[in-house]
Amino acid sequence: MASSSRIHLDPSQKPAFYVQGIGADTANTASGLLQENHEKHHIFFNQSGFHNHIVHHLLTLYALNASPSELKKAYDNNASYQRPPVALEPSIVDDMHIPEQYNKYLGKEKYYHDFLVFFQSEIAKNGWENVLNEYVFKGDDRADDMLVRMFAGFLHPIIHLGFGVEFQQPAIIAEALAQAAVHGDWIGPLFFESEKEAKRNNLDRRPEKSVIQLLNEIRENENLKKAPQWEDGNKIRDGIMKRARDEMLEVGSQYLVLEENLEEKTAEMINAAAFYTGAAQHPPKQVKFDFFYMHSVNCSIFFTTFLAAPWLSTSNKIRLLEWKVRSDLTMYASRGSPPLYLSEILNYQSTQNSSWPELFKRIRMFEDDGHASKLVRALANGEKVCAKFEPRETDWSLESEREEGKWLVKGDVWRVLGNMVVDSVENGEPHWVRNAGMEKAWEHINDRDHGSGRL
């Protein structure tokens, strides 16, 4: 049985998206490898805060019904460069249980192991659902601080949390909480000020704009487009938040969710993230996906799980979704607000034109740290979630590029995006483009040829 210190996957579980037929050997292999990672490796593989993605990778491959040998190969490829955890200091763990002392350890990477043991003990005593509601979703200062940190580090803490919740693994939830606790909180004003502005401007919460409309507003705002600069160390912190903070808050505050449209708004978020990530291309350069935008899609799958969570209040589901969309909008702006070409997706011709099962097989064999497989699974989940809301008409006129609707990705286009992803990473290094709205990002990307998908 899974616990706050033991990882145990059961093939009878039903994650948000999975391939049927997962066997006991696969579950046992994945559990053992995840347990080894939990005990032997730090959450960051270097001193610069680069994240250990083994949990993300293995659970994604597991959900895609990877074989035990495929799981072991993926683990070995990424375990080789991990570092061991910092030695535990029991006195610090004891100190963390004193509310007045807890805050002084936040935001400091060296306390990750201590936070991990702290949250393991809290989960063992109170259950992971209660711990999340107490430390992340309670709405007091401590919980709001942790919720901010969940969205730090390009969404890695909340992605890690999503995996823990989706696969019902308290030990991984403890990892996510500890990971969030050692991230920074500088992005907090984006969320808190957007909330205040939204309440000030929309007292009845009725006025609303689609995510696509807000993406268009960002792209048409010259100050937002120019705010991130190539030389910025962190293009959200040093670009958007320093040079166009008010403009970003104005856009973010216009996105609102009502209880009656929570399910549809969740699907809209997934759709919009997939659209802007896939459409941010740079013809005639080869198709490449922006490394940062990809995280918005990879995170989206967990909102299917959060939406269905009986332990999470409706008001917190609404708040979590609003924060996610505001994060996505800021992420889009932070890479230079590139033009979004729906035609790049609709006219894409894959040289293999794989089915979903074929895509899952190809991506299970692709050697990386899990980013590509997470993206493919998230897109497959998007197809499932959005089908309920997609318009039934099949008119795919490119005039829809100028739509301000919600469903620019629909039908078989989800599979087309899946082919774009797998083709692009199989096409060789660089697997991703970084900062897709900046010309310099594309300088070392080759022009298209007949082997890389064509339009």
What CA–CA distance (Å, rounded) separates 42 from 60? 20
pLDDT at 81 over 90: no
Q: What is the mean pLDDT of residues 10-35?
A: 97
Return mean pLDDT, the chain.
Answer: 93
| pTM greater than 0.85 (yes/no) | yes
What CA–CA distance (Å, rounded) separates 429 from 284? 17
What is the per-residue pLDDT across 311-327, written as a single tens digit (0 to 9) for each? 999 999 999 999 999 99
What is the per-residue pLDDT across 125-135, written as a single tens digit (0 to 9) for each? 999 999 999 99
**Exposure of 80 by Cβ count < 10 A (0-12 exposed, 13-18 middle, 19+ buried)?**
exposed
Residue 349, beta-bridge partner list: 454
Banded model confidence at residue 449, pLDDT cuts 50, 70, 90: confident
pLDDT at 108 over 70: yes
- Express as a percent the part of the chain with pLDDT over 70: 93
What is the per-residue pLDDT across 231-263, written as a single tens digit (0 to 9) for each? 999 999 999 999 999 999 999 999 999 999 999
Q: CB-based contacts of 386: which residues, under 8 Å, 6+ apart?
A: 267, 270, 271, 407, 409, 410, 414
Pairs from 318-323 (Cβ < 8 Å, separation ≥ 24): 318/257, 318/258, 318/259, 318/262, 320/137, 321/257, 321/262, 321/265, 321/266, 321/269, 322/195, 322/198, 322/255, 322/256, 322/257, 323/147, 323/151, 323/191
Pairs from 44-50 (Cβ < 8 Å, separation ≥ 24): 44/83, 44/109, 44/112, 45/81, 45/82, 45/83, 46/83, 47/109, 49/109, 49/153
pLDDT at 112 over 70: yes
* pLDDT score for 398: 46
What is the per-residue pLDDT across 384-435, written as a single tens digit (0 to 9) for each? 999 999 886 655 454 444 455 789 999 999 999 999 999 999 999 999 999 9
pLDDT at 16 over 80: yes
What CA–CA distance (Å, rounded) separates 120 from 5? 7
Q: Which two tokens stand for residue 371?
A: 């980013």
What CA–CA distance (Å, rounded) separates 317 from 266? 10
Residue 229 and residue 333 in contact, taking contact as beta carbons nearer than 8 Å: no
What CA–CA distance (Å, rounded) separates 376 from 56? 13
* pLDDT score for 396: 46
* pLDDT score for 455: 34
pLDDT at 204 over 90: no
What CA–CA distance (Å, rounded) separates 204 from 106? 36
Residue 161 and residue 180 in contact, taking contact as beta carbons nearer than 8 Å: yes
* pLDDT score for 453: 39
* pLDDT score for 452: 41
